[in-house]
């Protein structure tokens, strides 16, 4: 490995743990050769030039008239395009820098199977999430409605059983909460926790809204609920005397998995939202998970298909300004090395908050609430291509969709072939590693301090603890470094006083992004995209039956 | 767990006994140290192979295990005191204790890390055990030079013994595979006449007085003595209800025995057999006893063999069939359980020609009653009209099946002559269920709950 400035031992000790480093680096042993692979990553160069004040100006003949321009081809932007199309407004352009659409929901594929590069599931929606129900209906994912009008997801799109297993001290166990070896007190605390979340599930405010709804805008903003945001999840557990190590690991896993952070760093509102928002319907059970081999890449592919030719990729928007009743959107065409301009009636900014703040002229000038206070977390995602399945030692629970290592700082891996129903032969494992540093910037620096080889080594060394034969089976390891993976719902950041206002349009500029919700979820991106598109549809005089709320 | 802690306990106490015994060694310490080293090599090196072979044969297996552990412990316990005394005259006492114990503890740490992480996964338990024995024997041999000045006589004899031991352990290391199959033999009642491992399963054929048996992963698939009862019951009801079965699909059934029954019917024009394991269908084609038993079905020009996972295959084909015989192994894993779900049966529906009949093997309604009714109700949930039936197959016990179609149907009153088991009476008796096999409340088996695999594991656990 080209490990400068790392030695293998330092690398593994830094990103995994000293014992793993020691076991992997027995003195004298040559480091095993790495499988090939590449570093895949969002283009940072143009973004960082923009941060440093890059504002090219299009020539006079470089302008196009377009009624609506959507900036950003992540889930929020694609959802806005989908809603505009559904609403009968089909003349728009969607501008995206990356060649691949979908942002952190994007996917890749091999000869064997498609696999995710980020977000990889959604809980089956309750009927209240009208936008998501409509989308899944359109995709043919729903097969009807149950007796209470709730959407019924077709069997093949629900996560196939067995769903999850955990690796603890040399063995795989079924489920995510480790019951093997749990004491009576552990189990009692687990029950206490569940009872507390059930109370929040049943809670309704004066207007009959749930404490935690999906989308969040359908839930309550009552002070009793939003007060939770001032606590960390660790504080909340501590206040209830919930000290069981297993329970704390379980709850922390949720915080790391959905929010990329530890118990002390994540808002109790966000922590409880994770456990409560996906419980509902008439059985009060957690909603089953809907997933595809390529994760939410399947949803992206559908939305991108709807947007079709109107997507213009390779365009980095550098400026959005107001000229009278016209919005001017200036973009830098990376391939042509030239600026192009769009004159439109309205623009939808489906960009992360730190970018929105820099792109939109009125916001630069201090109009409306500031948006750049949202802290951002970094993630590494590795896709490991295997020529065969790791050997299962007797007494271990077999491979599941989600495979979690209790003693690892990573989140473990998901198996792409789980949903294709192939139980043998080659597969792709997607390994997730959130950088949970206290300070977001430190996490980003640590992410970038290691390259393809180093991250591939971390992933292999980590998973080899559970699968000693993994290295021999792995034929390729590709690495994605997400410097700005998701908003980090730190205590006090989810419900700022101007939360509502940040989503409101500034003149003819509309805003759509999960950052407005402060938690990075497909449902939230979809909601904001649909809401912003509906604002535009209504402004254009069309009658809109809202899917947003 | 009890066994694990007992083994540790016995081993530790044996170390103590060994250490205590060391005081009776008064002269010839160097020589005895080497002898002890060689005994440890022999006992330790052969422990795993001996235990493997004994597992299937010896009644008091635990007694053998504990005795072996105790014996090894005693000799290892002798080693350290002897070694310390050997060094007595060369180093100060504090150095001896420090060095010997340090190396001892570091050595055990290294071994305990190497053992589960590197050695056992790469070499297997038997070879790892032999390797440790080999290392001890080499150290013993090496010591004959190191301690040469301290040994009075018989040095050559000692060396010869060490070398013989090393050679023996090397041969064992080399032939470990043969040992594995030798030990497997003890698990089966009859002689193993054929055994092979494919990427999918372990296939074993045994032969006894009453004929031969096929085992997949240790589970009996059929016994030649009574398989006709099973296969006639599985195939003919569906073939009788359908007026004119021309295109037939067999899912699973790589032994070719269901196909033998299907091919009896001259009106059958084409049979497609989908079985995951080419190793199994090859064996049924070429292994004479098996090929004879299935009446050389695989050589019939009407037959097409597809070696694929039925779940993915069925999503890709467009053919339609008049009769489908579903003969998968019992749902004892999640990979098999998916082939009994509403999803699979829904995909199967799409492959049926108008009026098609389906027969499904459904495990035992007596031993696994909930599992049996779970399969029946799952077929119904997938839109099939189902008639449950069962019969006795002595090698298996009472066995259950489902006869299913997309529309209502009647079981025909008469069976054509020429079958060994089925006649009119036997056919109609199969559709009657005694009180202890009747319907029970079950969950429907779906991909996202795999209820059947969980029922099945629960139920068969009671009988194993």
> In terms of DSSP H, where are the helices of A204-314?
223-226, 233-239, 245-259, 268-276, 297-307
Nearest CB to B334: which of A288, A398, A468? Answer: A398
Q: Tell whether B343 lies on the interface with A, counting CB pairs under 8 A.
A: yes
Poorest-confidence range of A43-47, A220-224, B197-201?
A43-47
Per-residue confidence (pLDDT) for residue B1, from 0 to 100: 44
B57 pLDDT above the threshold of 60: no
Backbone angles phi, psi at B352, to 5 degrees: -95, 135
Q: Tell whether B219 lies on the interface with A, counting CB pairs under 8 A.
A: no
B61 pLDDT above the threshold of 60: no
pLDDT over 90 percentage in chain B: 50
pLDDT over 70 percentage in chain A: 98
Per-residue confidence (pLDDT) for residue B447, from 0 to 100: 95
B322 pLDDT above the threshold of 60: yes
List of residues 6+ apart from A330 with CB closer than 8 A: A55, A56, A57, A58, A317, A318, A319, A320, A321, A339, A340, A341, A342
Per-residue confidence (pLDDT) for residue B45, from 0 to 100: 77
**CA distances for B236 relative to A336, A511, B229, B268, B414, angstroms:** 72, 67, 11, 13, 11
Q: Which candidate in B275, B322, B327, B330 is catalytic?
A: B327
The 10s digit of each residue's pLDDT in B214-269 is 998 888 899 999 999 999 999 999 999 998 999 999 999 999 999 999 999 999 99
> Is A89 in contact with A67 (CB distance < 8 Å)?
yes
The 10s digit of each residue's pLDDT in A291-337 is 999 999 999 999 999 999 999 999 999 999 999 999 999 999 999 99
Could you tell me which residue, A383 or B50, shows the higher pLDDT?
A383
Mean confidence (pLDDT) of chain A = 93
Q: B6 CA to chain A: closest CA distance, Å?
A: 19
The CA distance from B42 to A453, in Å, is 45
A203 pLDDT above the threshold of 50: yes
pLDDT over 90 percentage in chain A: 80
List of residues 6+ apart from A523 with CB closer than 8 A: A122, A125, A129, A132, A214, A215
At B124, is the pLDDT very low, low, confident or very high (cuts 50, 70, 90)? low
The 10s digit of each residue's pLDDT in A28-79 is 567 788 999 999 977 778 778 877 888 899 999 999 999 999 999 999 999 9
Return the structure tokens found at A475.
């034929």
At B109, is the pLDDT very low, low, confident or very high (cuts 50, 70, 90)? low
Mean confidence (pLDDT) of chain B = 86
Return the structure tokens found at A16.
């995994």
B158 pLDDT above the threshold of 90: no
Contact (CB<8Å) A421/B346 = no
Structural domains present in chain A: 8-44+376-487 (3.90.660), 45-106+295-373+492-539 (3.50.50.60), 186-287 (1.10.405)
Nearest CB to A421: which of B117, B338, B450? Answer: B338
Of B247, B292, B255, B291, nearest to B272 by C-alpha is B247
The 10s digit of each residue's pLDDT in B353-365 is 999 999 999 999 9
Return the structure tokens found at B220.
């009996």
Mean pLDDT of B58-72: 71
pLDDT over 70 percentage in chain B: 87
Per-residue confidence (pLDDT) for residue A139, from 0 to 100: 98
List of residues 6+ apart from A504 with CB closer than 8 A: A368, A511
Name the pairing type of β-strands A279-280 and A285-286.
antiparallel
Contact (CB<8Å) A421/B312 = yes
At A24, is the pLDDT very low, low, confident or very high (cuts 50, 70, 90)? confident
The CA distance from A160 to A170, in Å, is 25
The CA distance from B36 to B24, in Å, is 14
Q: A422 CA to chain B: closest CA distance, Å?
A: 7
Domain boundaries, chain B: 2-184, 189-219, 224-461
Place of tokens 């750049």: A372
Contact (CB<8Å) B312/A420 = yes
Q: Tell whether A314 lies on the interface with B, counting CB pairs under 8 A.
A: no
Could you tell me which residue, B409 or B140, shows the higher pLDDT?
B409
Nearest CB to B312: which of A161, A162, A422? Answer: A422
Q: Which residue of B has its CA nearest to A392?
A: B121
B58 pLDDT above the threshold of 60: no
Is position B327 annotated as part of the catalytic site?
A: yes
Q: State the virtual CA torsion across A212, A218, A221, A224 in degrees, nearest 10.
A: -30
DSSP string, B245-284: --EEEEEE-TTSHHHHHHHT-TT--EEEEE-S-HHHHHHH
Q: Using alpha carbons only, how large is chain B's radius of gyration in Å?
A: 31
CATH fold of B224-461 reads Rossmann fold (3.40.50)
Place of tokens 């955990």: A166
Contact (CB<8Å) A423/B200 = no
The CA distance from B88 to A70, in Å, is 86
Residues 333-392 of A with CB under 8 A from B: 391
Could you tell me which residue, A176 or B55, shows the higher pLDDT?
A176
Return the structure tokens found at B168.
């023996």
The CA distance from A132 to B345, in Å, is 29
Of A314, A337, A438, nearest to A378 by C-alpha is A438
Per-residue confidence (pLDDT) for residue A385, from 0 to 100: 98
The CA distance from B46 to B290, in Å, is 37
DSSP string, B179-226: HHHHHHHTTSSSEEEEEEE-SS-EEEEEEETTEEEEEETTEEEEETTT
Poorest-confidence range of A18-22, A235-239, A360-364, B97-101?
B97-101
Nearest CB to A162: which of B117, B311, B334? Answer: B334
A1 pLDDT above the threshold of 60: no
Per-residue confidence (pLDDT) for residue B52, from 0 to 100: 60
ipTM of the complex: 0.86
């Amino acid at each position: 490995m080209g490990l400068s400035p790392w030695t293998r031992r330092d690398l593994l000790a830094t990103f995994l743990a000293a014992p793993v480093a020691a076991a992997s680096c027995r003195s004298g042993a040559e480091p095993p050769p790495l499988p090939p692979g590449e570093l895949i990553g969002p283009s940072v160069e143009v973004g960082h030039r923009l941060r440093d004040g890059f504002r090219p100006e299009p020539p006079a003949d470089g302008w196009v008239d377009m009624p609506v321009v959507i900036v950003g081809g992540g889930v929020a932007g694609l959802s806005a395009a989908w809603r505009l199309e559904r609403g009968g407004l089909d003349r728009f352009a969607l501008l995206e820098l990356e060649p691949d659409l979908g942002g952190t929901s994007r996917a890749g594929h091999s000869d064997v199977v498609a696999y995710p590069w980020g977000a990889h599931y959604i809980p089956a929606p309750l009927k209240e999430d009208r936008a998501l129900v409509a989308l899944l209906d359109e995709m043919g994912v729903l097969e009807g409605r149950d007796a209470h009008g709730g959407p019924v997801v077709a069997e093949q799109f629900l996560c196939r059983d067995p769903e999850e297993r955990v690796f603890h001290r040399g063995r795989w166990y079924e489920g995510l909460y480790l019951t093997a070896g749990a004491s009576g007190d552990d189990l009692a605390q687990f029950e206490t926790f569940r009872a507390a979340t059930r109370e929040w599930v049943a809670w309704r405010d004066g207007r009959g809204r749930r404490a935690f709804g999906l989308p969040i805008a359908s839930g309550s903003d009552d002070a009793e609920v939003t007060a939770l945001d001032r606590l960390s999840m660790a504080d909340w557990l501590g206040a209830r005397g919930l000290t069981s190590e297993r329970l704390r690991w379980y709850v922390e896993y949720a915080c790391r998995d959905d929010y990329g952070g530890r118990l002390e760093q994540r808002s109790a509102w966000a922590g409880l939202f994770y456990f409560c928002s996906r419980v509902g319907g008439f059985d009060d059970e957690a909603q089953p998970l809907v997933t595809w081999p390529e994760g939410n890449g399947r949803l992206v592919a559908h939305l991108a298909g709807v947007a079709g030719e109107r997507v213009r990729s390779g365009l980095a928007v550098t400026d959005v300004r107001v000229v009278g009743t016209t919005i001017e959107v200036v973009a830098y065409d990376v391939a042509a090395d030239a600026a192009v301009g769009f004159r439109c009636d309205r623009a939808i900014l489906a960009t992360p908050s730190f970018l929105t703040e820099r792109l939109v002229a009125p916001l630069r000038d201090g109009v409306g609430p500031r948006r750049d206070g949202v802290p951002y977390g970094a993630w590494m995602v590795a896709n490991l291509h295997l020529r065969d399945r790791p050997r299962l030692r007797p007494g271990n629970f077999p491979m599941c969709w989600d495979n979690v290592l209790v003693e690892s700082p990573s989140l473990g891996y998901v198996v792409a072939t789980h949903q294709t129903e192939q139980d043998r032969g080659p597969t792709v494992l997607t390994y997730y590693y959130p950088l949970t540093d206290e300070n977001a910037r430190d996490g980003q620096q640590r992410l970038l301090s290691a390259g393809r080889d180093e991250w591939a080594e971390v992933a292999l060394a980590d998973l080899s603890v559970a699968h000693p034969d993994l290295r021999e089976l792995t034929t390729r390891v590709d690495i994605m470094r997400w410097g700005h993976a998701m908003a980090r719902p730190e205590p006090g950041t989810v419900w700022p006083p101007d939360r509502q206002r940040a989503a409101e349009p500034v003149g003819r500029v509309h805003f759509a992004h999960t950052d407005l919700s402060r938690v990075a979820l497909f449902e939230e991106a979809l909601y904001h995209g649909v809401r912003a598109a509906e604002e535009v549809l209504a402004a254009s005089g069309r009658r809109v039956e809202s899917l947003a709320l | 767990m009890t066994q694990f802690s007992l083994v540790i306990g016995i081993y530790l106490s044996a170390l103590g006994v060994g250490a205590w015994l060391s005081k009776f060694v008064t002269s010839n310490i160097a020589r005895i140290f080497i002898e002890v080293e060689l005994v440890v090599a022999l006992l330790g090196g052969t422990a795993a192979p001996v235990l493997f072979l004994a597992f299937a044969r010896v009644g008091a297996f635990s007694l053998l295990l504990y005795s072996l552990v105790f014996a090894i412990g005693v000799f290892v316990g002798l080693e350290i005191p002897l070694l310390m005394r050997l060094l007595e005259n060369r180093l100060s006492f504090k150095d001896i204790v420090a060095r010997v114990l340090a190396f001892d503890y570091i050595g055990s740490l290294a071994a305990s890390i190497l053992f589960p992480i590197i050695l056992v996964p790469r070499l297997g338990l038997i070879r790892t055990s032999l390797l440790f024995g080999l290392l001890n024997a080499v150290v013993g041999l090496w010591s004959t030079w190191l301690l040469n000045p301290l040994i009075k006589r018989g040095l050559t004899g000692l060396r010869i013994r060490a070398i013989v031991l090393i050679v023996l352990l090397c041969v064992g290391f080399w032939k470990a595979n043969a040992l594995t199959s030798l030990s497997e033999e003890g698990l089966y009642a009859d002689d193993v006449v054929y055994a092979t491992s494919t990427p999918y399963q372990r296939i074993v054929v045994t032969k006894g007085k009453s004929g031969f048996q096929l085992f997949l992963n240790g589970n009996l698939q059929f016994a030649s003595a009574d398989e006709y009862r099973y296969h006639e019951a599985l195939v003919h009801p569906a073939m009788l209800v359908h007026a004119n079965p021309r295109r037939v699909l067999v899912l699973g059934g790589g032994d070719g025995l269901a196909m033998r029954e299907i091919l009896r019917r001259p009106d059958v024009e084409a049979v497609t057999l989908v079985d995951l394991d080419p190793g199994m269908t090859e064996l049924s084609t070429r292994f004479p006893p098996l090929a004879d038993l299935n009446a050389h079905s695989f050589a019939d020009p009407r037959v097409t063999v597809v070696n694929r996972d039925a779940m993915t295959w069925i999503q890709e084909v467009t053919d339609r069939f008049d009769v489908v015989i579903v003969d998968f192994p019992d749902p004892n894993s999640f990979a098999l359980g998916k082939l009994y779900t509403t999803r699979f049966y829904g995909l199967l529906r799409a492959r049926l020609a108008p009026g098609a009949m389906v027969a499904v093997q459904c495990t035992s309604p007596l031993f696994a009653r909930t599992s049996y009714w779970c399969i029946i109700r799952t077929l119904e949930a997938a839109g099939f009209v189902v008639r449950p039936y069962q019969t006795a197959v002595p090698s298996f016990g009472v066995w259950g099946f489902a006869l299913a179609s997309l529309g209502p149907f009647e079981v025909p009153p008469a069976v054509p002559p020429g079958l060994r088991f089925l006649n009119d009476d036997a056919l109609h008796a199969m559709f009657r269920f005694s009180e202890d096999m009747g319907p029970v409340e079950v969950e429907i088996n779906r991909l996202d709950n795999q209820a059947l695999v969980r029922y099945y594991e629960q139920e068969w656990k009671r009988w194993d």
